[in-house]
A and B are shown apart, each in its own frame.
Chain A
Amino acid sequence: MSNVKLPIEVTVNGERFNRQVEPRLLLSDFLRHELRLTGTHVGCEHGVCGACTILVEGEPIRSCLMLAVQADGLNLTTVEGLALDPQTLHPLQEAFWEAHGLQCGFCTAGILTTLIPFLESHPSPSENEVRLALSGNLCRCTGYQHIVDAVLLAATKMQDSDRS
C-alpha cells in the first residue's frame, strides 16, 4: 500500500510537470532525481544547512523538509529559474559574481533563493539585517563577508534599475 505512487502536477520555473511519486519522496530528491534539476543542492537533509532552499509560491522553504506529494498543484522556483534568460543573470547572481560571493558554490543556490524574497521586502537592508537573513544558510568557504558584500551590492543594483 505504502509503495503506491501518487500522481502530482507541479509547475517548476514556469514549466508544468506531471509525475507519479512515492509519498516518501522528498521534494528536494524529486527535483534532483526526477526532474534532473540538480542546481538545488542537498547538504544536511534535516533542515539545518539551507542548501536545498527553493521558492514555493514565492516563499523560501527547505525542500528537504517537504514531501513531493505536498507540492501537488503548487508553483515552485529553483535556482535554475532565477535568471531572466541564459544571458541575463538576476541582479543578485550578478552581484555574487562581481563581489566574489561564492567559492565552491555548494551553498549558493540556497542563499540566492533565500535572499531574493528578502531583497524584495527589504530593498535597502543594513549589513546586520543581511546577516540575520543569512543565518539559516551555512557556508564553509567564504566566512560570509563576501556574501554580505554581494547582497548589499545587489540591493544597490536593484534600486538603481527600479529608478531607471
Chain B
Amino acid sequence: MKPAPFEYLAPRSLDEVLSLLSQHGDDAKLLAGGQSLIPVLNFRLARPAILIDINRVPGIDVVHETEEGGLSLGAMVRQSRLENDPAVARLAPLLRGVIPFVAHPQIRNRGTVGGSLAHADPAAELPAVATALDARFLLSSATGNRWIAAKDFYIGLFSTQMQPQETLVEIEFPAWTPGTGWAFQEIARRHGDFAQAGLAAVISINGSGVCTRAKLVFLSAGDTPVEATRAAQVIEGNSPTPEIIAEMAEIAAMEEVEPSGDIHSTVEFKRHLCKVLTKRVVETAIQRTSPIPN
C-alpha cells in the first residue's frame, strides 16, 4: 500500500471538523480534493497520524453573489464548477478565465478552490489569481472566525498564516468594477503542467483613458504569489503606451520577481518569460477594459 497508515475521520458537520482540529491540530491533515495531498501521501513525503476528510461536510461548497455584488465561494467548491457556473463568469471573469490552465479536467473534477488556496504551492494559479482579485479568506476554528486578505495569507513556500486548529471555510471576491480588464497567461512545457512562469493582471482605465489601478501577480516567480507593485505604479495615473508597458515588463522581470532555477529553466530564462508575459498580459487586460459586446 502506498500511503503510510493513518486514522481516517469523516465528520458530517463543520462544527465537528473544528472540534477535531482543536483536539488533533498538528497531528491531523484535512483532506479536501486530495489532488496535492494524496500524491504526497503516496510518496510518503507526509505521514499524518490522522486524516480528516471534509468531502461529506454539508454547506461548504456553495457559490453565491454577495450583497455588495461580489462572489462568495465555499472552500469545497470543485475547480470544474468555476468553469461552468455562470455566476463565476459574471462576477469574477478572471477566476473563470484561469480555470483551463489549472491542471487537467480529471484533476479539476476533484480539486477544490479552498484546497489549492490553502496548499499555497507557488506554482499554483489560484493563489495568484486570488491575490490579484483582492480576495479575502474566512478562517474558522473552534474558538472563532477571522477574515484575512489573500495578500497577507501567503508567507512562504507552502506556508500560510493559517494555524493548525484553523480551516479555510469561505473565499470572498469583491465586486467587479466597471472599466476593469483582466488577463491570465502562463508558460508551461505542456498544457496543464506546472507553469515555468505565469501572470494574472487586473487593470482599470477611466473614461479619459487613464489607468486608475493595476494589479500584477506572478506565479512560479518566488516562494509565494509575487505582486509586482512597482511595475503597477509605472502605469497608474498614466495612459498606457508601448513605452510604459515595456518599462513595466523590465521592472517586474528584473527587480520584482524572485524565481529559482530548475532543470527546465534557469533564473535568467524565467526572468525573460516574466518580461514577455508582462507585455502580453498587460496588453490583453487593457484591451478588455473597453466594453465588448457579449
Query: Which A positions have Cβ atoms within 8 angstroms of B?
Result: 1-3, 6, 22-26, 29, 45-47, 50, 53, 56, 59-62, 64-67, 69-70, 114, 118, 132-133, 135-136
Known contacts A22-B1, A24-B6, A25-B1; decide if A62 and B107 are in contact (CB<8 Å): yes
What are 7 A-B pairs with beta-carbon distances under 8 A?
Answer: A6-B8, A46-B42, A47-B107, A65-B35, A66-B34, A66-B38, A66-B110
B34 and A133 within 8 A (CB):
no
Known contacts A45-B2, A46-B43; decide if A136 and B8 are in contact (CB<8 Å): no
B interface residues, how many (CB within 8 angstroms): 33
B55 and A70 within 8 A (CB):
yes
> Beyond the given A2-B8, A118-B105, could you list 17 further A-B residue pairs with CB under 8 A, ordered by the A residue number?
A1-B7, A2-B5, A22-B5, A45-B42, A59-B109, A60-B109, A61-B110, A62-B107, A65-B34, A65-B110, A67-B31, A67-B53, A69-B8, A69-B10, A114-B105, A133-B105, A136-B107
On chain A, the residues within 8 Å of B110 by CB distance are 61-62, 65-66
Question: Within the complex, what minimum Cβ distance (angstroms) separates A7 from chain B?
Answer: 12
On chain B, the residues within 8 Å of A132 by CB distance are 100, 191
A136 and B106 within 8 A (CB):
yes
On chain B, the residues within 8 Å of A69 by CB distance are 8, 10, 53
B4 within 8 Å of A by Cβ?
A: yes
Known contacts A22-B1, A46-B43, A65-B34; decide if A135 and B6 are in contact (CB<8 Å): no
Question: Within the complex, what minimum Cβ distance (angstroms) separates A35 from chain B?
Answer: 16
Docked CA distance A65–B38 (Å): 6
Query: Looking at the complex, which one of B10, B55, B106 makes contact with A114 (CB distance below 8 Å)?
Result: B106
Docked CA distance A64–B109 (Å): 14
On chain B, the residues within 8 Å of A45 by CB distance are 2, 42
Known contacts A59-B109, A61-B109, A65-B38; decide if A136 and B103 are in contact (CB<8 Å): yes
A53 and B3 within 8 A (CB):
no
On chain A, the residues within 8 Å of B230 by CB distance are none
On chain A, the residues within 8 Å of B35 by CB distance are 47, 62, 65
Question: In the complex, what residue of chain A is closest to B9 when comparing beta carbons?
Answer: A23
B105 and A23 within 8 A (CB):
no
B146 within 8 Å of A by Cβ?
A: no
Question: Within the complex, what minimum Cβ distance (angstroms) separates A8 from chain B?
Answer: 11
Docked CA distance A3–B51 (Å): 13
Docked CA distance A133–B80 (Å): 14
B51 and A136 within 8 A (CB):
no
Question: Within the complex, what minimum Cβ distance (angstroms) separates A76 from chain B?
Answer: 13
Docked CA distance A121–B251 (Å): 44
On chain B, the residues within 8 Å of A67 by CB distance are 8, 31, 34, 38, 53
Question: In the complex, what residue of chain A is closest to B111 when comparing beta carbons?
Answer: A65
Known contacts A47-B38, A62-B110, A67-B38; decide if A135 and B191 are in contact (CB<8 Å): yes
